[in-house]
Structure 1
Amino acid sequence: MLPLKKRGYIALLDIGRSIDEEKFNKILGLIESGKQQGASLQCGGESQWDTGYFVKPTVFSDATDDMRIAKEEIFGPVQSILKFKDIDEVIERANNTSYGLAAGVMTRDINKALKISQNLDIGSVWREYALHEYTEIKTVAINFPEKYL
């Protein structure tokens, strides 16, 4: 049996590896584009280990809407921080994206959360909810035959 590191898992780590070399290289390419387009790299931004397709958790600040790291779905441990002036700007910018599947709203002001939720062209919006569910150690998915449903 391969050691855990070779199998794509590191003990005591909260993040797994990229699925394959192609996705790994795409993530690193997007990180490089963030640097070249002027975002400020705060941490990470490189391969994690010698083996496996691990990318260090990466955070960019000073990102803008026209940057690839803000426009494209990265599917890797990369977060871009974008500044905004007010709630109306947030709504306008969020509705001007190619994607609109889900959004998370982090605010203590329920009225702001409701205004944002009602004005986003998005299928699902949550407010400071489900953190516990997203940090569970184990998720089990079973495809039951129809006769059991």
Structure 2
Amino acid sequence: RFDEVVDGVADIAKSIKMGPGMEPGTQMGPLVSDEQFRRVTGYLESGKSDGATALAGGGRFGDRGYFVEPTVLTNTRPDMKVVREEIFGPVLVASPFTDLDQIAGIANDSEYGLGAGIWTRDISKAHALAKKIRAGTVWINCYNVFDAALPFGGYKQSGWGREMGHEALHAYTEVKAVTTQL
């Protein structure tokens, strides 16, 4: 079902309306700076030169601004930069897998662990995989859903501590232990 799923995702990516953030109907705006634009497009060039296939996007959108097309990459390997590093751009890297241990191993073979997305009809498998993945946030059948009551933060090189939720209060408290021998 891999091809069916990524083709559907690519169709959605191709339909996203790009434009200025304040323009009605815009679904995706530009990247924040020229530096970030060059970083993301550099990742895309690296992925394509390493053999990745862009089913959607893969480059600049338009001729002005810091717009990058929503991109879906396939034919990737776990050793590729586009798989191993955090891109922070509109790029999805999709890889087929045979079992949960295999895909959890690939996901965890990274120095990063900010967020992960799992899409499936089998909620038991989704929770089993979420337990195995070392990421600060795991979304199941959704992505980039935030709530102030939920803690947010990464594992490994994706940060420490948590923003939002009860866990965020730890950054504003000082704990003291006082011991007296009687």
Q: Which residue of 1 aligns with 2:112?
A: 99
Number of residue pairs the alignment of both structures matches: 130
Residue 111 (str. 1) matches residue 124 (str. 2): yes
Q: Which residue of 2 aligns with 1:73?
A: 86
Identity of matched residues, %: 38
Match of 1:32 among 33, 45, 52: 45
Distance in 2, matches of 1:31 and 1:62, equals 13
C-alpha RMSD over aligned residues:
2.6
Correspondence 1:1-149 to 2 at 5 A: 10-129=23-142
Distance in 2, matches of 1:67 and 1:79, equals 13
Distance in 2, matches of 1:88 and 1:123, equals 19
Confirm or deny: 8 A CA contact 1:10 1:16 kept in the other structure: no
Distance in 2, matches of 1:51 and 1:59, equals 22
> Could you report, residue by residue, the CA deviation over 1:50-84 in whole angstroms, capped at 9, with x for unpaired residues?
22111111111111111111111111111111121
Confirm or deny: 8 A CA contact 1:62 1:83 kept in the other structure: no
Structure 1 unaligned regions, length at least 5: 135-149
TM-score, L = length of structure 1: 0.74
Q: Which has the higher contact order (CA 8 A, sep 6+)?
A: 1
TM-score, L = length of structure 2: 0.62
Deviates most, 23-32 or 124-133? 124-133
Distance in 1, matches of 2:99 and 2:121, equals 15
Deviates most, 5-14 or 29-38? 5-14
SS of the residue 2:113 aligns to: coil
| CA apart distance, 1:126 | 3.0
> Could you report, residue by residue, the CA deviation over 1:16-43 in whole angstroms, capped at 9, with x for unpaired residues?
1111111111111111001100011212
SS of the residue 2:39 aligns to: helix
**Cα distance change on mapping 1:123 and 1:20 into 2, 3 Å:** closer
Confirm or deny: 8 A CA contact 1:27 1:74 kept in the other structure: yes
Structure 2 unaligned regions, length at least 5: 1-17, 148-182
| Structure showing greater Rg | 2
Distance in 1, matches of 2:51 and 2:143, equals 33
Confirm or deny: 8 A CA contact 1:8 1:52 kept in the other structure: no
| CA apart distance, 1:124 | 2.8
